[in-house]
Structure 1
Amino acid sequence: MGAKLAKGFFITTILVLVCNSLFAQWADNFDDGDFTNNLEWVGDTNNFIIESGVLRLNAPAQTGIAHLATSSDISLNASWRFLLTLDFNPSSSNYAMVYLMADVQDLNFVQNGYFVKVGGAPDEISLYKVVEGNETLLIDGVDGRVGLPTVEIEIIITRNSANKWEVKSKLAGEPDFTSEGNIVDSEVVSSAYFGVFCKYTSTRSTLFYFDDIIVLGSPFVDNEPPELLYYSTPTSSQILLAFSETLDTTSVIINTQFLLNNTETPTNIFALNSDTILISFNTKLEMDNSLEILAIPDVEGNLLDTMLQIVFIDPTPSNYRDIVINELFPDPNPQEDLPPFEFVELFNNTNRIIDLKGWEFTDGSKVATFSSVLVYPDSFLIICPVAAEVDFIPFGKTVGLDIWPALNNGGDALVITGNNGTIIDSLTYSSSWYNNAEKDNGGWTLEQLNPASKCLGSFNWGASINEKGGTPGMVNSLYPINADFSPPQITQALLTETLAEVWLTEPVTNGLYQGVISSPLYNITFDLAEPSAYLKGTIEDVIHLNTYNIEIYLQDCNGNTGIANSLLINIANPATEDIVINEILFDPYYGGSDFVEIYNNSDRYFNLKDYKFSNETSNSVITDTTLLLEPKHYLALSENIVFLKNEYLSPDSSLFKTELPTMPNNEGMIVLKSAKGIIIDSVVYNEDYHFSLIDDVEGVSLERISSAVSSISKDNWRSTAESFRYATPGYKNSQSREPVNKGVITVSPEIITPN
């Protein structure tokens, strides 16, 4: 082992330091044989000894680490000098570190400080900085400098008033010091400890030596009050405050004044650790709060007075649809009046502020992660590629994402997840959601109709109708202006054999709906896979009556619930002449149209969906939707029902617009068929059926005289009376002669006299 520094040099240095009152100083040459008093070194004391006035590692013969530290607040305009001997060739498994500045006593857990490393793989002497536990190399010394069988080296590190650092070293036998490099760095300004650290293998556990340590300079003098680093709101009545330095927590609890929203004082102040306090109040925090702080002290007695603006961020985890995808712009081209970039609009569907920190937005192939972004209740956030951020800022609050999941024009699956991985919103859109062939070619956004709707998917989306092409950052153009607070009602309910069909005033949410039919009493279930205003279900062993009553508990897309009830009409299968052709016009006035009137000759209900009129060569479907024909009811069908209303005063309730087969003016045939193709009634007509004294039959209909007599009979048809304007579409025929029941006629009084 190499010799110690000359005692004369060591004593002279100490005298110089003592005489210079501008500097603090300390030194230890271990000549007293004791490292636990005057100076006190702490740490792995069992692994060190003093031998011949030198501090020596004396650890068990096994791989390990060991350290010692002593109090030292010297940090500025300073120098550190020491003698180190490594009685081996250093390596990545065997090296020494000397902590010039450290914030904690245990050198395994230094968060802020500086250290010199001697050895390691490059066999060099290097200076490192530690900030928040992260090490940074500042001075990379000369490689191979200590690649020797035995290293005896004296090292000096200086930091001047301009925060310029320099590391110098002198090996045994060298006449002068060699500079390992210099750098300017001022990030860490305070210190609490100086220390030595050894990393070793089993064969090197006694071969580290430290001696003649001299430290001089100035301690950091804190004249600044503490700064607030951040705050949080762990509960609705608590505020956590974290500061930049150690506080005098006893004084904080006793003397510091806190005032919330100009009125509320804390019920409790608790120091979570040396720089963090938790304040509790009796009242709940508002969304935006003020917190006045008077006289919060650090350990040096510096006082902070400040006014903080505290935003209450509810720590409750967000749930599904708390934040919703509210508008999409997958295809910006051709451009309308929006920036030519994709965007997605998010909407806060809650009454609380939500922080998107740690949330993710993905299309399954790319994932974008949000930094801290506050979204206020009932407000919008535009997200877009970072390059487009400046273009969308004029439309509202905008965040540009470095990673952008591109929106496919034809459709894509988008997902928003919270910081705990919970799915907050998702949708799989397609270009069909536009429901507009012109707008789905590009330049128009897809808008959500109602962000609060319980009916999701294509039902709740459509093409924007805003003239700019979309509404980023504002209420969607499709949003319903008038709020709906009424539960859905039944507009029509039909029973066809065992199938019950129900039409509603508005769509209801998907799910199972239970209904009750009476009387007799039947239970029925409607299973709805997606939102719809149409329900269907089946019942077994039904007793067929004309009508029933049905009740269903329903929920619409706005969450309105209630019991809807209605008549349930039993739809019959017609027999021949249950429905009769009752009147025909085959030679209309100029500008008019043919019509056929049918009459329900029974006491049952019929659904004319998919019924047909036919002639000798063609068929015409009356309607492909439900069309109810009530018992004893007339219905006139024509291509021009306005003509019938104006010319013949027909009632709206008895008219239906449809295409009819060709009806020649001289003669022809018209046939009525059921949805199953069964012939219900047919008429062979001829213009000769008209009353012979009518000179011009144009605009004159043929009326059926009796529904009880076959329509094939020529004698069952006559021209409509002139007094009825020559046609009665939609109401009782002028020539109607329905049979009446025969009975006994009595006269009272039996004697009748003149006058």
Structure 2
Amino acid sequence: MKKTIFTGLFLTIFFQIQGQLSDDFSDGNLAKSPVWFGDTSDFLVNDSFQLQLNAESSGISRLYTSLKNPSAVRWDMYFNLQFATSASNKIRIYLLLDTTDLAVANGYYIEIGQNGAPDPLHFFSLENGENFLLGSSTLAFEQEVQLDLSILRADNGTWTFYAATENDAFNEILTLSDATFVPENGKLFCLECYYTTTRKDKFSFDDIHVFPLVPDTIAPVLIGASAIDSVTIELNFNENIGADIQVKQIRIEPDMGNPTSIQTSNHILRLAYENTLSSGKAYTCMTSQISDTARNFSGIQEASFGYIKTSTPLPGNLVINEILFDPKPDDSPFIELINVSDMFLNCSDLVLSIEKNNAWTNFSSTTDLLIYPDSFIVFTSDRLSTITNYPSSRANAILEVDLPGMSRDFGSITLQTRTGKIIDSVYYNVGFHHMLLDETRGVSLERISPTSPALRHGDWNSASAQSGWGTPGLPNSQYIRFDTVTSVFHIENQFFSPDGDGHEDFLLIRFADRASGKIATARIYDEFGREVSVIFRNLLIGTDSTGKWDGTIDAQGIAPTGIYILLIEMMNETGIVNSYKEAVTLATGF
């Protein structure tokens, strides 16, 4: 597919004012506007409105058209050679010719095609029919040539060549000086194709324009800035800039200090710093008195940019936070992850393994995933239904993927890298739902704390009714944020009401780090000293260990309202047991 020739080419010292030759072949013929002559029977305008070689057999075919050139001129053109060029299959484009008799002609031409690869673009002068190589491009071709080309010739004989391959930007590929032949003496523009039988229809051309030029008086414009890495910043201008950039002409806020090096390459200015950019922070780059190659100086210009340092997820900083494993018929299951770290996590290498009926199914996203600190990502089979059926959701955190089905009763989910390193693993069970819920279908299970393990009943709770039975992409309705524990343990919701309304539905015990390694048992007693529930027995306490009482009496439903005694017994490695008692209140209406 052809690329539109770039307009407003303020890349060197000229810009377009009036066309002398212009043909995009949209009229479908070669007989007018402009008139082409030569081997016209060997060419046609194809269905894409491009000029195409269509010869009967091997040979050399030429097309000419007349033109009148000023002393400063620009040529724009597109061509596609659908083969690897060689000495037998090549192209010559005569920019200036004073006669059709090439044996005695004067002018300039470009050529692509030689034996051996890669093939650069060569630029020749033609003096009384004799060829002189003036220069070769930095761009070279090994396969098919698909090229947009812009050539500028200044009054003083300076030639500058710009090229853009398919899906690429224009870059300078050659510059030189030669004033042997002045453009005013050129009367003709010529396309010349050398081809074998297999290449007789593989040349095409389009958007041929020749323009007079006047000096550029417009200063370069700062288009944007971007961080290449933590110490390198790249500025992008709309045209080539001068190389004499000084430190005082550039400033980064917040202050990065002075750059240790400044490099220019065409329209790009690259800055290197000793200080490093902070991940997740916004910056502003300010420039002043930046010149183009015509010595037009800009005023003060600004461009904003940011820098994000990505990290690979590690165990504990990306966790499975919410699960809908038993959706309603019109809904879709979902799995929510939360980044609990202060890092930007690149999750493109992760795999979710879902266990159902003792069989594991792996799922991985086909798109790049970057999860910001304290942010969520939700995988679902039907994004629209998840957003519609769960109003307490964040739409831009929800991704539609080919998520495998999950068991409606119980199962396991493992988050791991493609190499098998486990990042998080959870076990879920329909019995983890609040016992007062008559219907759990369509109700998600929420992790009480993302910093605690999630393999037991006490680590999960049903999403609240007020939230709409699920919070995909938002903080869990049953979320407990732990502050630092200064004692051996800390009780969250010492007054609680286990009515399933999402507000203080359970009592939560959180152990301090200094309790790690001890064995603990927690029991609940009523006001008469009768044991009514065992929260956990012989629990080996680790970092961020927790226990939950949801108000149930062992195998007998919800306990009556009233004051209860929590007894925690902790045994250390020497066998010494310490006991702790706390009064807790089970109430209604909280």
The TM-score normalised by the length of structure 1 is 0.40
| Higher-Rg member (1/2) | 1
The TM-score normalised by the length of structure 2 is 0.49
Q: Which has the higher contact order (CA 8 A, sep 6+)?
A: 2
